[in-house]
Structure 1
Amino acid sequence: MRAIPLGGFVGFPDDDPDSTIPPNDPNLLKNRPVLDRAIVISAGVIANLIFAYLVFVAQFSTIGIPEKFDYQAGVVVPEIISQQSPAAQAGIQAGDIIVAVNDQPLGASQDAVKSLMQTIRDNADNPVGLTVQRGDRQVDLSVTPRAGEDGIAKIGVQLAPNVAATQYRRPNGVFEVLRLAALQFQGMFMATVKGFVSLITNFSSMAGQVAGPVKIVEQGAGLVAANAGSLFPFTAIISINLAIINILPLPALDGGQLVFLLLEGLRGKPLPNRIQENVMQTGLVLLLGLGIFLIVRDTTQLAIFQRLFQ
């Protein structure tokens, strides 16, 4: 199983029943001070964040720094959040470009997304006519926005400006690369944190956006087909998401072990091993169950499966 590159893990002699190291050896992880153990447990999270930053460094170093942007008419639909959303039911697909709303063309500017979103919000439970560019043909669709629990009408898609960098320049030295990579990393990290906060505070309406490995691969393939350069930020955001997920105070994750260490520091002694093992095993079962659920759900929502059952 370890030969299959499904992820990484770290094993310590503490967990090896065949280890010949004496149980009281001061260099065993369980015998190290709380701070030492916290640093070791946090190493994976720190590595994920460093890797995401280095991805941006590689992006600016190889592709260059975008200097000119070309806005095209319309708004891009990078992702359909749920196959039960109004957009999916109306026939909107990931990769579509919405070029007109109610027969009114969307301009070629960064304000096109705001204009479309405002029209959707103003038409809760009212049909909205959309003209969609799909490949080399245009399709006329009608979608009826639904108001969420927050009262805001939505159609269940992600929207992005129809823009692409048309000219790049070479960076003015390594320090510019490091600075721009830091700014890009900071922006993406903060956006990801806000996304997790929204998921926790408004789980019922945001749960559909949680994706598993199948959905991630599908999105990555779509991005590479459209623009191979977009694979850099896509890779970085996956790494940032892994870091944030792992640091959450949930059983079987690094954050859960850090909680045990915090309790140990406050109590002056660790929790009984039986309690820790029961909590970790329960958390592991729940996480595996969630993973299986996401894989099944995302697989059945693939376009090829949707066509089979139509």
Structure 2
Amino acid sequence: MNTVIAFVLIFGALVFFHELGHLMLAKRAGILCREFAIGFGPKILSFKRNETVYTIRLLPIGGFVRMAGEDPEMIEVKPGYHVGLLEGKDGKVEKIITNNKEKYPQARIIEVEKADLEHGMYITGYEEGSEEGLKRFEVSEQSFFITDGQEVQIAPYSRQFASKTLGQRAAAIFAGPFMNFLLAFVILLFLGLFQGAPVDLPKLGELTKDGTAMSSGLKEGDTIESINGKSVSSWRDVVEIIRANPEKELNFQVNRKGEDLSVKVVPEKFSAGGQTIGRIGAYTPVEKGFVSAVKYGASETYNVTKEIILGLGKLITGQFSIKMLSGPVGIYDATDKVAQSGIENLFRWAAMLSINLGIVNLLPLPALDGGRLLFFLVEAVRGKPIDRQKEGMVHFIGFALLMLLMLVVTWNDIQRLFLQ
């Protein structure tokens, strides 16, 4: 149950902050955001705040922000339609009733002659019970359709995604992956604040009670000057010597609060990755402080990003098999193992997953944020956007292929679980 909770919280946080990036920049640009969703499929929970419906959906495989203009509008008003109009105090139409008009006796019923609800924001038509002939009704920028008793906000062209500048559209799309990198940095920053930021100094960090370092007389904070007469200048130097000498006596020359001491330590034998190495039960030294934590968060975010990109490069060149990729099932299994090793490692795992999500979404593939940005780049080069229907078809095919890949990866994850 703890693993389920950890997985749901981590997955939910990664998707939430990713989509929040899209939502914030889209709203800042003035785009009407109809829905902010975590997950896909049937709705489990939903509520509306201001213009946006916030939903949690059944399938935990991502999320989305539905912006006006990205998909064809579901409701149209065509010539010959009969609709009801409810006007506001300023005389402009605020609600257009498409069916069940008898439930709104105060509405003015008209037969539509022409409607422009994107640019001109008006409807012309003939009102029932009136002999005045063709009338023109101005429609408010903040107006709604009412269909089956449900209100759907009308999106003038100025509120649609396509109406915004190339820079505004690119920023709204890029903000999602950026928030994943920012989330990872913040997680690692807080780990650095509460635990201390690891530093590469020849100084002993926390000692384990059952390690040979403590039983030999070494203490946390001792500065190591040399081992077996070989000077050391970093924690990496210390670790390399210890790992290379299992069950061999080592002479540590240390400085403890200004006093030089000589301590003999025998690293215990330990198996790791098929190799036999030595260890003494001492953790990496840490440095506490806000500046150190910021440096740690930035450097770790950079290092993890670099490693993931190198891994993707190996996948492209064939050095890394697709069978080694993990989907939701594999990530759940890994989360279970990481959760058992402690809350600190679980937070580091969450930061790594957040960076991974950001990088994957920036890949220049259809249906991903990177694919959208690639289309924007083409638009910038050619000076005009690509046909929306053609772009939509490319993204649809890309999404279908991604779902197929997800199924293959999930099947591989399930096979690995049964073979363990």
Q: Give me the TM-score of the superposition, normalised by structure 2.
A: 0.48
* Aligned counterparts of 1:133 and 1:175: Cα–Cα separation in 2: 36
For residue 22 of structure 1, report the CA deviation from its aligned partner. Answer: 5.0
Q: Which residue of 2 aligns with 1:31?
A: 163
* Aligned counterparts of 1:114 and 1:162: Cα–Cα separation in 2: 6
Deviates more, 1:246-255 or 1:178-187: 178-187
Question: Of the candidates 329, 351, 357, which is equivalent to residue 236 of structure 1?
Answer: 351
- Within a 5 Å distance, the mapping from 1:130-169 to structure 2 comes to 166=283
For residue 167 of structure 1, report the CA deviation from its aligned partner. Answer: 7.3
Q: Which residue of 1 aligns with 2:66?
A: 11
Q: Which residue of 2 aligns with 1:210?
A: 325
Q: Which residue of 2 aligns with 1:188?
A: 304
Percentage of pairs with the same residue? 26
Query: Whose relative contact order is higher, 1 or 2, with alpha carbons under 8 Å and at least 6 apart?
Result: 1
* Aligned counterparts of 1:109 and 1:43: Cα–Cα separation in 2: 40
Deviations 1:241-299 (A, max 9, x none): 11111011101000111111111122222212221122111111110011111112101
Rate the CA distance shift 1:64–1:227 in 2: closer, same or farther, 3 A: same
Matched, 1:269 2:384: yes
Q: Which residue of 1 aligns with 2:407?
A: 292
Rate the CA distance shift 1:260–1:159 in 2: closer, same or farther, 3 A: farther
Q: Which residue of 2 aligns with 1:58?
A: 190
Deviates more, 1:220-229 or 1:288-297: 220-229
Letter in 2 for 1:244: I
* Aligned counterparts of 2:163 and 2:194: Cα–Cα separation in 1: 45
Deviations 1:76-133 (A, max 9, x none): xxxxxxxxxxxxxxxxxxxxxxxxxxxxxxxx95479999xxxxxxxxxxxxxxx997
Rate the CA distance shift 1:165–1:201 in 2: closer, same or farther, 3 A: farther
3-state SS, counterpart of residue 63 of structure 2: coil
Rate the CA distance shift 1:109–1:171 in 2: closer, same or farther, 3 A: closer
Deviates more, 1:261-270 or 1:283-292: 261-270
CA RMSD of aligned residues (A): 3.5
- Within a 5 Å distance, the mapping from 1:83-162 to structure 2 comes to 110=240
For residue 23 of structure 1, report the CA deviation from its aligned partner. Answer: 4.6
- Within a 5 Å distance, the mapping from 1:241-260 to structure 2 comes to 241-260=356-375
Matched, 1:175 2:291: yes
Which runs of no fewer than 5 residues in structure 2 stay unpaired?
A: 1-41, 43-54, 76-151, 199-203, 213-237, 246-268
- Tell me, yes or no, if the aligned pair for 1:109 and 1:161 is still in contact at 8 Å: no
Structure with the bigger percentage of helix: 1
Which runs of no fewer than 5 residues in structure 1 stay unpaired?
A: 74-107, 116-130, 135-156
* Aligned counterparts of 1:112 and 1:206: Cα–Cα separation in 2: 34
Rate the CA distance shift 1:242–1:256 in 2: closer, same or farther, 3 A: same
Rate the CA distance shift 1:167–1:201 in 2: closer, same or farther, 3 A: closer
3-state SS, counterpart of residue 65 of structure 2: coil
3-state SS, counterpart of residue 11 of structure 1: strand
Letter in 1 for 2:374: V
3-state SS, counterpart of residue 251 of structure 1: coil
* Aligned counterparts of 2:186 and 2:276: Cα–Cα separation in 1: 25
For residue 202 of structure 1, report the CA deviation from its aligned partner. Answer: 2.4
- Tell me, yes or no, if the aligned pair for 2:270 and 2:277 is still in contact at 8 Å: no
For residue 20 of structure 1, report the CA deviation from its aligned partner. Answer: 4.6
Letter in 1 for 2:302: Q
Letter in 1 for 2:330: K
Deviations 1:4-38 (A, max 9, x none): 4723311112235345545532x421111111100
3-state SS, counterpart of residue 321 of structure 2: helix
For residue 191 of structure 1, report the CA deviation from its aligned partner. Answer: 1.5
Deviations 1:165-208 (A, max 9, x none): 64776713x222112211121211112211112221225x4333
3-state SS, counterpart of residue 249 of structure 1: coil
Letter in 2 for 1:191: E
Q: Which has more radius of gyration? A: 2
Matched, 1:49 2:166: no
Rate the CA distance shift 1:132–1:113 in 2: closer, same or farther, 3 A: closer
3-state SS, counterpart of residue 301 of structure 1: helix
Question: Of the candidates 298, 313, 317, which is equivalent to residue 201 of structure 1?
Answer: 317
* Aligned counterparts of 2:352 and 2:383: Cα–Cα separation in 1: 38
Aligned pairs, number: 231
Rate the CA distance shift 1:208–1:43 in 2: closer, same or farther, 3 A: same
Q: Which residue of 1 aligns with 2:338?
A: 223
Q: Which residue of 2 aligns with 1:68?
A: 205
For residue 158 of structure 1, report the CA deviation from its aligned partner. Answer: 10
3-state SS, counterpart of residue 54 of structure 1: helix
